[in-house]
Amino acid sequence: MTCIMPIGGNKGGTGKSFIGGNLCIALAKRGKRTLMIDLDLGASNLHTMIGMSLPSGSLSDFINRRVEKLEETVIPTPVPGLFLISGARNDLDASNISYQQKQRLSRAISRLSYDYIILDLGAGTSFNTVDFFMISNTGVFVVIPEPTAIENIYRMVRSLFFRMVKQYAGASDFRTIVSVARERDPGGHADHLDNLLIVFSDLFPEKANFFEKSLENMSFTLVMNQMRDSDNPKLGNLICGVIQKHLGVPVTFLGNIAYNSRVHDSVCNRVPFMDKYPYTQTTTDIRKLSETVIAMSGGNDKDITGGDSTDKIQES
Ligand SMILES: Nc1ncnc2c1ncn2[C@@H]1O[C@H](COP(=O)(O)OP(=O)(O)OP(=O)(O)O)[C@@H](O)[C@H]1O
Ligand SMILES: [Mg+2]
């Protein structure tokens, strides 16, 4: 079965594409047939993270029906077992994708057959980003240990589940649910998922039932990137706890990825970080993340390249 993992986050530059690209390499090196799709439609750069210059095909070819099947836009990468749908040559208006185009693209992605499909999303909570995040129920948030990033992720989770309620309830009933929830609890807990669910079930029981069933399979996860020695290693768990407490949305912490000043250098030189700097804490963390992802999705694990997360760490 294919595991589709969107990688998103409300703030720009946290490392979504860096982690997405390197996680894909780590998964492919563990023998997993992996596809990465650049869904940052207006600012695609995922190819750079895996050391490719301008790829030939583009997602726009499918969106604008120059090719009929999404498979036709898949290109191989230098990493065996890793494939890419790039956005590097997207049309200039790619980010103005219509609702119908988005639906067609989402359906086509869901029909692809790989072990893992990683979706690299743009920053923010635009409808495009939120809708792509909801293609699957195993989305990953990338956060950095700064107060602004943490506030932003809280808002993103709220936008996500509000949009989910809206999709199941319909726009007009959604407005009713939110206003009744706020009337019933003016103390500020109306945004809590449990409170919205109670109102939803009271007013529209059939639709709410359907929604609750889909929530059962939902499992948001969080990765804390750019961790320096001075940062609290438990911050990720704390953030998940705050989101659970105030919004009622379960988020599982997947792990920390260490900051390394050479990431900039590897991006500038278009060389995959994990290949250029295999013996660093950052690479070890990414390998561990790939093991966690595989374990979470119920897959068997093997590293076919010889490297594993117990590699000796050689920092600068
Ligand atoms: N673990 C890390 N250590 C050091 N620097 C990092 C790390 N992760 C990311 N960076 C830095 O952050 C920059 C931005 O990373 P990236 O492009 O992956 O962010 P993004 O979240 O995808 O941004 P956008 O929101 O614009 O798509 C990288 O070029 C790199 O310089
Ligand atoms: Mg990016």
pLDDT tens per residue, range 240-253: 999 998 888 899 99
* Mean pLDDT computed over 185-213: 85
CA of 129 to the centre of ligand 1 (A): 18
Ligand 1 binding pocket includes 259 (Cβ within 6 Å): yes
- CA-proximal residue: ligand 1, atom 5 (nearest): 263
| Residue of 10, 17, 148, 227 to test ligand 1 pocket, by largest number of atoms within 8 Å of CB | 17
Cβ(47) to ligand 1 under 6 A? no
Find tokens 């207006």 and name the residue.
42
Beta carbons of 274 and 242 less than 8 angstroms apart: no
Residue 142 host element (H or E)? strand 140-143
> Ligand nearest 46 Cα, by number?
2
Positive or negative, the CA dihedral 196, 198, 200, 202 is negative
Question: 90 in ligand 1 pocket by Cβ < 6 Å?
Answer: no
Closest C-alpha residue for ligand 1 atom 9: 15
Distance between Cα 12 and ligand 1 center (Å): 8
Average pLDDT, the chain: 88
Instruction: Using the predicted structure, report yes or no on whether residue 45 has a pLDDT greater than 90.
Output: no
3-296: CATH superfamily: P-loop containing nucleotide triphosphate hydrolases (3.40.50.300)
Q: Which amino acid is at 182?
A: R
Cβ atoms of 286 and 22 within 8 Å: the answer is yes
Mutation test of ligand 1: which of 95, 227, 263 has the most ligand atoms closer than 8 Å to its C-beta? 263
pLDDT-derived band of residue 55, with 50, 70 and 90 as boundaries?
Answer: confident
Give me the residue spans of the domains in the chain. Answer: 3-296
Question: How buried is residue 196: exposed, middle or buried, by Cβ count under 10 Å (0-12/13-18/19+)?
Answer: buried
Shortest-distance atom of ligand 1 to CA 49: 18
Residue 293 has pLDDT above 50, yes or no: yes
Answer whether 123 contacts ligand 1 (Cβ < 6 A): yes
Answer yes or no: is the C-beta of 14 below 6 A from any ligand 1 atom.
yes
The sign of the CA dihedral 109, 98, 23, 293 is negative
Task: Decide: 144 in ligand 1 pocket, CB within 6 A.
Answer: no
Question: Please, are residues 303 and 274 in contact by the beta-carbon 8 Å criterion?
Answer: no
Res 312 pLDDT > 60: no
- Specify the residue with its C-alpha closest to ligand 1, atom 15: 15
Q: pLDDT by residue (tens digit) across 140-164?
A: 999 999 988 778 888 888 888 888 8
Long-range CB contact pairs, 306-314, < 8 A, 24+: 307/29, 307/278, 309/284, 311/278, 311/279, 311/283, 311/284, 311/287, 312/279, 313/279, 313/280, 313/281, 313/284, 314/279, 314/280
Pairing between β-strand 75-76 and β-strand 82-85 as defined by DSSP bridges: antiparallel
Closest atom of ligand 1 relative to the 19 alpha carbon: 18
- The C-alpha atoms of residue 257 and residue 277 are separated, in whole angstroms, by 14
The pLDDT of residue 188 is 66
What is the DSSP-derived secondary structure letter of residue 50?
T
Distance 269 CA to ligand 2 centre (A): 17
Ligand nearest to the CA of 124: 1
Q: How many CB atoms lie within 10 A of CB 155?
A: 13
Grouping H, G, I as helix, E, B as strand and the rest as coil, residue 110 is helix
Q: Could you read off the pLDDT of 78-137 as tens digits, one per residue?
A: 999 999 999 877 777 777 788 899 999 999 999 999 999 999 998 877 788 888 888 888
Structure tokens belonging to residue 176: 């009713």
Residue 83 Cα distances to 33, 118, 279, 303, angstroms:
8, 10, 25, 18
Ligand 1 binding pocket includes 18 (Cβ within 6 Å): yes
Q: Is 17 in the pocket of ligand 1 (CB under 6 A)?
A: yes
